[in-house]
């Protein structure tokens, strides 16, 4: 029992107690130390590079004509060259086209200094296309211009300048055939040809082949037939145009006319009969392509304006104003002037014996004047209605030794036939086409006979 005034000190405890307490503390420390430590969960090991050098990477594959810029660790940024297609418009100039394509005038200048190799670019045609390849700095790398489906002008960059060359497409030529017949429903060459699926160009070529022997305005009759072999030209399996007529046959009013195309040793191509006579005559039967003959050769015709009988010493071909008029034969222009009756007219002298006259023209072709030399088929003027004329037409006269003759019936001089020394070569070159033409004509004859039944 404690009493007040007596201090509480450690010395008051027995020594035996202190020893026991010290022994217990040491034992407890030994037990705690021997216990197992608590396990920590495992963590994923993430290696960290402490290097300041970037990691080495394999370069990416670069497509042709592509330019890349690498920006830090990002993926490469691609800048492709651009291609521009510009359709040529009416009134377009090369400078305007280059401007639309985003090209500087200096690029056009570098192209045009090439001169003759790029001369075709001075005569660009509306509707055609210029293709440009341009780099990221708006510099022209190349351009292409299609003169026709088989021929392209290509201009490519060579440093600070350009070079030009022509690229020709690989073409395949196939021989095709066509047949047509004059019927009541299709009374003209054009109508019959279109009904048979022939193109405008092919019909026009056919009329040119026989233009010395047949007037396609006056001579055609129902039942007349046309057969022809011609070239179809393909590029990459697509038809791009028709080539030459290789052989043709017309049965007109029971008479058969046959034409075979032959290229002679000098490289000149013309049409001949199977016997080697030239279809080409010194004069064309019709010097203009027209809709119909509005007035024939008639020495007792009643004049439509003066209402009295006045000789009509030629043929009137009705045609649209502006239709080209062709020189009927080689010769020299002796007159190209205007008067009240004839309007604008041209007179051509063909050697010593023949003269042709062309009246009521709307105008003269460029370069046609007294003293000019002209070739057969050359455009000399244009259909009009000047002078004593009630509508646009060509009045055409043909004189032999200063005497008017009917242009449709006068005998025309022939061109030179195949030379005797070349006749064997001609026959060898044309015999296959003649056989094929006769085969087509035979098939056509049977077909027409079947239809008639």
Residues 99-156 pLDDT 10s: 888 889 999 999 999 999 999 998 888 988 899 999 988 899 999 998 888 889 999 9
**At 69, is the pLDDT very low, low, confident or very high (cuts 50, 70, 90)?**
very low
Q: Do domains 81-168 and 171-280+414-453 have the same CATH topology?
A: yes
The answer to whether residues 163 and 142 touch, using CB atoms and an 8 Å cutoff, is no
Of 286, 302, 318, which is closest to residue 394 (Cα–Cα)?
A: 318
Up-side HSE of residue 419: CA atoms within 13 Å toward CB?
A: 6
Q: Is the pLDDT of residue 198 over 80?
A: yes
- Average pLDDT, integer, range 242-270: 93
Query: Residue 203, class by beta-carbon neighbours within 10 Å (0-12 exposed, 13-18 middle, 19+ buried)?
Result: buried
Band (pLDDT 50/70/90 cuts) for residue 63 is very low
Residue 271 has pLDDT above 50, yes or no: yes
- Evaluate if residue 332 carries a pLDDT over 90: yes
pLDDT value, residue 35:
53
Q: Measure the CA–CA gap between 427 and 274, rounded to whole angstroms.
A: 8
Which phi and psi angles does 229 have, rounded to 5°?
Answer: -110, 130
Closest CA to 164 of 175, 152, 181: 152
pLDDT at site 160: 86
Judge whether residue 28 has pLDDT over 70.
Answer: no
Tell me, which fold does domain 81-168 have in CATH?
A: Nuclear Transport Factor 2; Chain: A, (3.10.450)
Q: For residue 350, list its beta bridge partners.
A: 354
Distance CA 442, CA 7 (A): 156
Cα–Cα distance measured from residue 211 to residue 59, given in angstroms and rounded to the nearest whole number? 71
Q: Sign of torsion, CA 432 437 440 445? A: negative
The pLDDT confidence band at residue 333, using thresholds 50, 70 and 90, is very high
Distance between CA atoms of residues 28 and 89, nearest Å: 107
Tell me 441's DSSP state: H
CATH: 1.10.486.10, 2.40.30.10, 2.70.70.10, 2.40.33.20. Which one for 292-405? 2.70.70.10
pLDDT in tens, 417-451: 898 899 999 999 999 999 999 988 886 554 444 44
What mean pLDDT value characterizes the chain? 81
DSSP class of residue 280 equals -
Q: Which residue has the higher pLDDT, 181 or 409?
A: 181
CATH number for region 171-280+414-453: 3.10.450.350
What pLDDT is attached to residue 383? Answer: 96
Query: Quick one: pLDDT at residue 78?
Result: 46
What mean pLDDT is predicted for residues 245-266? 94
pTM of the model: 0.60
Query: CB atoms < 10 A from the CB of 84, how many?
Result: 16
Lowest pLDDT segment from 262-271, 303-312, 377-386, 402-411: 303-312
CA distance 62 to 70: 12
Q: Hey, where are the domains in the chain?
A: 81-168, 171-280+414-453, 292-405
Least reliable range by pLDDT among 25-39, 166-180, 233-247: 25-39
């Amino acid at each position: 029992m404690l009493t007040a005034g007596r201090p509480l000190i450690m010395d008051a405890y027995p020594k035996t107690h202190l020893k026991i307490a010290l022994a217990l503390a040491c034992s407890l420390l030994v037990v705690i130390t021997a216990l197992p430590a608590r396990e920590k969960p495992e963590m994923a090991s993430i290696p960290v590079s402490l290097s300041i050098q970037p990691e080495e990477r394999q370069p990416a594959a670069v497509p042709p004509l592509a330019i890349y810029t690498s920006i830090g660790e990002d993926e490469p940024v691609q800048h492709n060259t651009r291609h521009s297609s510009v359709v040529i418009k009416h009134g377009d100039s090369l400078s305007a086209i280059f401007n639309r394509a985003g090209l500087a005038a200096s690029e056009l200048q570098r192209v045009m200094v090439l001169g003759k190799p790029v001369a075709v670019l001075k005569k660009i045609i509306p509707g055609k296309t210029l293709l440009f390849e341009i780099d990221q700095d708006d510099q022209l790398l190349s351009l292409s211009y299609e003169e026709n489906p088989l021929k392209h002008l290509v201009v490519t960059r060579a440093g600070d300048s350009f070079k030009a060359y022509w690229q020709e497409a690989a073409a395949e030529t196939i021989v095709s055939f066509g047949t047509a017949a004059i019927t009541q429903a299709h009374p003209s060459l054009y109508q019959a040809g279109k009904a048979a699926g022939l193109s405008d160009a092919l019909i026009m070529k056919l009329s040119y082949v026989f233009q010395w022997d047949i007037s396609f305005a006056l001579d055609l009759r129902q039942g007349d037939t046309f057969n022809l072999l011609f070239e179809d030209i393909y590029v990459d399996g697509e038809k791009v145009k028709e080539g030459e007529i290789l052989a043709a046959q017309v049965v007109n009013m029971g008479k058969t006319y046959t034409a075979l195309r032959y290229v002679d040793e000098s490289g000149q191509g013309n049409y001949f009969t199977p016997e080697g006579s030239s279809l080409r005559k010194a004069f064309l039967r019709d010097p203009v392509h027209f809709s119909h003959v509005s007035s024939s050769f008639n020495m007792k015709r009643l004049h439509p304006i003066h209402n009295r009988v006045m000789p009509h010493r030629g043929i009137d071909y009705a045609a649209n104003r502006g239709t080209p008029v062709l020189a009927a034969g080689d010769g020299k222009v002796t007159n190209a002037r205007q008067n009240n009756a004839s309007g604008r007219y041209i007179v051509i002298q063909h050697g010593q014996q023949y003269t042709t006259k062309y009246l009521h023209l709307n105008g003269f072709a460029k370069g046609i004047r007294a003293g000019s030399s002209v070739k057969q088929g050359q455009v000399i003027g244009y259909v009009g209605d000047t002078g004593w004329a009630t509508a646009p037409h060509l009045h055409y006269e043909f004189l032999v030794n200063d005497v008017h003759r009917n242009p449709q019936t006068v005998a025309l001089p022939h061109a030179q036939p195949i030379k005797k020394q070349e006749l064997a070569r001609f026959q060898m070159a044309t015999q296959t086409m003649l056989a094929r033409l006769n085969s087509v004509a035979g098939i056509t004859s049977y077909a027409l006979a079947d239809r008639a039944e």
